[in-house]
Amino acid sequence: MPTHVDIREVCLRDGLQLEDPIPLSAKVALLEAIVATGVREIEATAFVSPSKVPALADAPEFAEALAAFPDVEFSALVASPNGAKRAIASGLRSIEYVVSASDAHSQANVGRSTAEATAAIADVTRVAHDSDAAVEVIIATAWDCPFDGPTAPQRVVDIVTAAIELGVDRIAIADTIGTTTPRRVTSLIEQIRPIVGALPLGAHFHNTRGAGLASAYAAVQAGVTRLDASVGGLGGCPFAPGATGNIATEDLVYLLRDSDIDVDVDLTAAIEAAKVAQQLVGHDLPSALLRAGDRIRN
């Protein structure tokens, strides 16, 4: 078991992307609350089509606010080499490039097949490395696709293999629709770990079917050292309207800390940031700690 796990806070991107747009000043207030948790990595925004994701249409403006926090590694999600160029032009030096492991989701999401999206890793990586930016390939629908059903693990293995050959810096696997469970998490990680080798391996879970934390813990047991989470559990799933979102940062911190796994996030500050997020979006968030608080101790 790892003794330390890096948490990347994704509330500002994955958390907000399905919400109604909030003002830039409100987003900066949430950023400040998140930075106050001590988290070292924050997914700040996405450089994608503003018409498809209006909540993140302010990416260039929001990126200007990030310079105030030089100790945090900010990343931005992109879906194309052009998105990577825009992110880098806005000052980002950590690029997340998404490849869907299922063709139907890839086509729905970016209008390209998995093979086409995989081939574009080369251009994204070149763009990023030319500007001394790092590239993480995030493999979406790594376990299940809302259209194609279960994803064959070999499809994930093939993307991981290609990404490493093309020189990416990190790999992550994502349970995009929140359907996987611990046994399948363990199984997939066991298949890709030998390929990933010494590169950092991350995982991204949604709590859509309640198994998000169980899957996250299984991932850590299998050797993952990087986990995405969102304060308050903010974030949804376009294929399960109204469902629970990302695993909540504070719930994850509670579980890992209680398992003697060190994290760079203060639990009390994370609950405070969740309160800020809840107030900004104007509806209840699914986080358990937000309701129950930390446990009563002597």
SS3 per-residue string spanning 199-251: CCEEEECECCCCCHHHHHHHHHHCCCCEEEEEHHHCCCCCCCCCCCCECEHHH
Min dist CB 198 to its own copies, Å, is: 26
Min dist CB 23 to its own copies, Å, is: 29
Tell me which of 9, 43, 144, 272 binds its own copies, using CB under 8 A: 144
Residue 186 to residue 149: CA distance in whole angstroms = 19
Question: Contacts with its own copies in 31-90 (CB under 8 A)?
Answer: none
Residue 236 to residue 207: CA distance in whole angstroms = 9
In sign, the C-alpha dihedral spanning 13, 232, 265, 61 is: positive
Backbone angles phi, psi at 17, to 5 degrees: -65, -25
Min dist CB 197 to its own copies, Å, is: 27
> Helix 24-35 to helix 267-281 angle, to the nearest 10 degrees?
170
Min dist CB 284 to its own copies, Å, is: 9
Residue 178 as a binder of its own copies (CB under 8 A): the answer is: yes
Residue 129 as a binder of its own copies (CB under 8 A): the answer is: no
- Known catalytic residue: 145? no
Q: Where are the alpha helices (DSSP H) in 131-181?
A: 153-165
For residue 157, count CB atoms less than 10 angstroms from its CB and return exposed for 0-12, middle for 13-18, buried for 19 or more. middle
Residue 102 as a binder of its own copies (CB under 8 A): the answer is: no
Contacts of 262 (CB under 8 A, 6+ apart): 3, 4, 5, 256
- Measured at the CA of 257, the angle between CA 253 and CA 263, to 5 degrees, comes to 65
Identify the active-site residue in 156, 237, 270, 274: 237
SS3 per-residue string spanning 174-195: ECCCCCCCHHHHHHHHHHHHHH
Tell me which of 68, 89, 152, 292 binds its own copies, using CB under 8 A: 292
Interface with its own copies: number of residues (CB under 8 A): 48
Sole window of 20-28, 65-73, 77-85, 146-154 interacting with its own copies (rule: CB under 8 A): 146-154
Residue 19 as a binder of its own copies (CB under 8 A): the answer is: no
Residue 141 as a binder of its own copies (CB under 8 A): the answer is: no
Question: Contacts with its own copies in 267-286 (CB under 8 A)?
Answer: 286
**Beta strand pairing call for 149-150 and 144-145:** antiparallel
Sole window of 34-42, 87-95, 166-174, 242-250 interacting with its own copies (rule: CB under 8 A): 242-250
CA quadruple 85, 110, 62, 274: dihedral, nearest 10: -140
Tell me which of 111, 210, 262, 268 binds its own copies, using CB under 8 A: 210
Tell me which of 109, 118, 207, 230 binds its own copies, using CB under 8 A: 207
Tell me which of 82, 259, 268, 279 binds its own copies, using CB under 8 A: 259
Sole window of 35-43, 118-126, 154-162, 203-211 interacting with its own copies (rule: CB under 8 A): 203-211
Tell me which of 3, 25, 51, 298 binds its own copies, using CB under 8 A: 298
Tell me the catalytic residues: 237
Q: List residues binding its own copies (CB under 8 A).
A: 144, 146-150, 177-184, 207-211, 213-214, 216-218, 237, 239-240, 242-244, 248, 251, 254-255, 258-260, 286-289, 291-293, 295-298
